[in-house]
Amino acid sequence: YSPIDIITKYSPSAAIAFFGLIFAFMATASTNLTGDVPAATNAIIRITRLGWVKSLTIATILAWLLIGPYSMVNWKQSLDVADYLTNFNWYYSMWLGPIAGVMVVDFWLVRKKEYVLDELYNIGPQGKYWYSGGINWIGVGSFLAGIIGEYLISGARGTIQFYYGIPVPGEELAWYYGFFISLFLYWLLALAFKVYALPEKYSKKQ
């Protein structure tokens, strides 16, 4: 069940259900404000060079223009759209697990919680985190291995699903499978090939 289903089904009174739905709304709104809105706003800032407030306003207006009118006119169909969005969020999370696995190992184990923040934005060959041609191939390989692992596990269990004709892992735990596969593989590769994982420390150019 989703939180909305639980609130509407098990609330002992309408008043409690009402307040429960308010909290559910606040949780959704706060998640969008802290997770989704900044990404769109930063994209507009990069494109237009406008300030934060103006870019945030533009992002909000564009979001409403894309969703609001359709939802008000075709509110029944918009419920189906909500299901599609939920499924989309479910399926694209398969990419996030392997990414998180690589990031956790790189930060906590490989670099011992030490990053030079300014160098993260230095995208030239002279940058500290340039790796090999600007790409950390160990990280990319570990990420892809996590994705492949998700498909293999889901395929072995017969849970592959199709989303708009695209096969995707149907496992509820696909995120975790990808996370741990990428995590352990990146850790092992970083230990075996330190010159590639920490070029600024082990590279002969340094």
Three-class secondary structure of residue 200 per DSSP: helix
Residues 141/133, Cβ–Cβ less than 8 Å: no
pTM of the model: 0.69
**CA gap 64, 68 in Å, rounded:** 5
Q: Which of 130, 143, 131 is nearest to 100 (CA)?
A: 143
Torsion region of 117: left, alpha or beta (phi above 0 gives left; psi -120 to 50 gives alpha) = alpha
Q: Are 113 and 107 in contact (CB under 8 A)?
A: yes
Per-residue pLDDT reduced to its tens digit, 109-159: 999 999 998 888 787 888 888 898 889 999 999 999 999 999 999 999 998
Q: How many CA atoms lie within 13 A of 35 on its CB side?
A: 6
